[in-house]
Structures are given as C-alpha cells and as structure tokens.
Homo-oligomer: A and B are copies of this chain.
Amino acid sequence: MVRTDRVTIQDVAVLSGLSICTVSRALRKLPNVSEKAQVRVAEAASKLGYKASAAASRLAGGVTGSVAIVAPTATSWFFAQAVEAAEEVLGDSGYDTVLISLRNKASVRRQFFENLENFAQRVDGLLLLNIDVDPDEMEALKACGLAIASVGMRHVPWDNVGIDDEHAAWQATQHLLGLGHWDLAVLSSNEHSVVTETPRFRGFKRALDEHHLTVHPDLVVAAGPSIDDGRRAMAELITRGARPTAVFAHCDEAAFGALTALREYGLSVPKNVSVIGLDDHPMSGFLGLSTVAQPVADQGAFAANLLCERLLNNESPHQPSNHLLDTKLIERKTTRHKR
C-alpha cells in the first residue's frame, strides 16, 4: 500500500489553531466547546477532507464509524434490496457499511458467532436481517456490546422492523376466499420443523376459520423458498390426488414453482386453479402473479434509521420497539372467481 500521508487530527489542529483535544471534542460535538471553535474546526476538517481513523478511534475507546449488515445470504432479491436501502441510510449518517453474508451455511454462521466478540471491535453496530438466532447466539449478541437493530425478527431485545406475516397471509387467503374459493391448498414454509406453526400459516388458518372452513391436512404441504421447492410441493399435492381450486404459496418463489407444476400437469391458471403468493418478488409483475406485497427497501431503511438513532444517543436505555410495516394485496392474473 502506498500509504499516502494520512490527514490526521493533528493536521486539523494545526490548521484550526487549536489543540488536538479541542478538535477531537468539536468533531464529536461534545459539550464545552465554544461556537467559534466548532466552526473553525469544522472548516479546517472539511478543507482537509479529514475523517477520523476508525482503528485509532476504536483503540482509544471511541467508535469505528462503521456498522455491519448481517444477512443469511446476499444473493436473494430480498436481502439485496434491504441491504441497499440500509446502506443508503447508513451512508447518509456517516457510517460505512460492512457486509456479512452467512451464505446459508451453518459453518459460516457458527464462525461468525464464535468470532463475534472480536468482530465487535471493528464496528459500532449490527443490522440483522432475518437471522433467527438460537439461545447461544442470542447470548453472544447481547454480550458483544454492540448496538443492534433488525429486520424480520421476533421477540428480540432490540429495535425491529418487519411486516405482520400473519396478517399478510390472511390478506392473501382472504382474497382467495372472497373470489369464492373454499378448497384451498397451502404451500407452507418448512423453515421450522412444524409447518403449521409459522405466522404465515396461522394467517391462512385464521382466514379459513373466519369463514367457518377448516384446514384439510391433505391440502397442506411444505415448501422451501425456492422455485424448485414450490414445484415439487405442488406436484406432490397433485399426485396425492388433491384438487384445490386455489393455492396460497407462502412466498412468491414457491408460487412460481407451483405455477410450473400446475402447467406440467395440464392445469390452467387461473382457469382451473387460482394461485397467490406473498412478497411481490421483482418477477411477479412480469409473470402476472397475484400476491401480497411487502415493502422490502422500506424495512431495510427503517431499521437502519433506528440503528443510527440508537448509535447517536447510546445513553438513553429505551425500550426496544417493534415496527410492523403495511402489506398490500396486489391482484394480477393468477387469481379469479371460482366458476
């Protein structure tokens, strides 16, 4: 590295004619700095393009000026969008964004948490995206002493932003019911071993309940969040002999797969079967998939904002808040009245 001579606090001190100490305080907007000094320092700093060294600040007991975004994977559209939105907010607040992808791998994940205490020295805060932590991991997170905010997590002792999954699933199901369908199949997430315990499944069930309908076990099938999984699940449903007139898939990708399987089995959508997803994947508009949209970028941005606030006044130990953003039914071409 050709180390171009770094602009240090010393340079700012000299240019502003004040001591290093005063500059340091002025820069961090600490009390006991006169108006004049503030201005002089600000001018000098901006003229020199000065930015504190993260390593030095950190070592001396201060802050690093960067926060990490931790995602289970960085390749899915959901995370990519949330990350970009968060990065924008963080950048505007002067933080660098360090990206950590757990790559959907247990080993990577384990290593991250084992190394967390050490990693914590390199950032001021953590923005967790849909990481469902086990007790040990929760312990590590609490112990690392970082400010934390999250997207899509439940019952966590820090600020969280998400959607009401149960309600969103209810909206989707309600739409199907409103179209006169009552033989409803559901492709439910298998991320937890018990498929029927997920919020989205509960929303599905609640809608049925309200119409005095019951969930038929033969019409419930597990599906991961991928096209292939959705395809397999739908195929299983069909070969099982199930003949629903409408299908609710827990996410759009699974719905895409369902669409494929349906086509392969000669069933026409929406003529024979209606299909609705949940998420509003970027391709859903193109494919005409009816769905319930969730504001992905907004969630990332909102959570980033909460984290920044927390970072600024870290003193005030306020209650962790949980914000649920609105979801919206988007009717396209894969759902229609039962005839």
Selected contact of A286 from candidates B98, B121, B227, CB within 8 Å:
B227
Docked-complex contact B64 and A75, CB < 8 angstroms: no
Interface SS, A side:
mixed
- Considering the complex, which residues of chain A in the window 70-84 have a beta carbon less than 8 Å from any beta carbon of chain B? 73-77, 79-81, 83-84
Quick one: CB contact mask for A1-14 with B, threshold 8 Å, 1 for yes? 11110110000000
Q: Is A99 on the interface with B (CB-CB < 8 A)? A: yes
CB-CB under 8 A from A119, the residues of chain B are 51
Number of residues on chain A facing chain B (CB within 8 A): 61
CB-CB under 8 A from A62, the residues of chain B are 1, 3
Q: Is A189 on the interface with B (CB-CB < 8 A)? A: no
Q: Is A15 on the interface with B (CB-CB < 8 A)? A: no
- Considering the complex, which residues of chain A in the window 233-292 have a beta carbon less than 8 Å from any beta carbon of chain B? 256, 260, 283, 286
- Closest 5 pairs between A and B when the two form their complex, measured CB to CB: A55-B58, A80-B80, A74-B84, A55-B59, A49-B118
A residues adjacent to B (C-beta < 8 A): 1-4, 6-7, 49-51, 53-56, 58-59, 61-66, 69, 73-77, 79-81, 83-84, 87-88, 91, 96-101, 103, 115, 117-122, 124, 144-147, 227, 256, 260, 283, 286, 311, 314
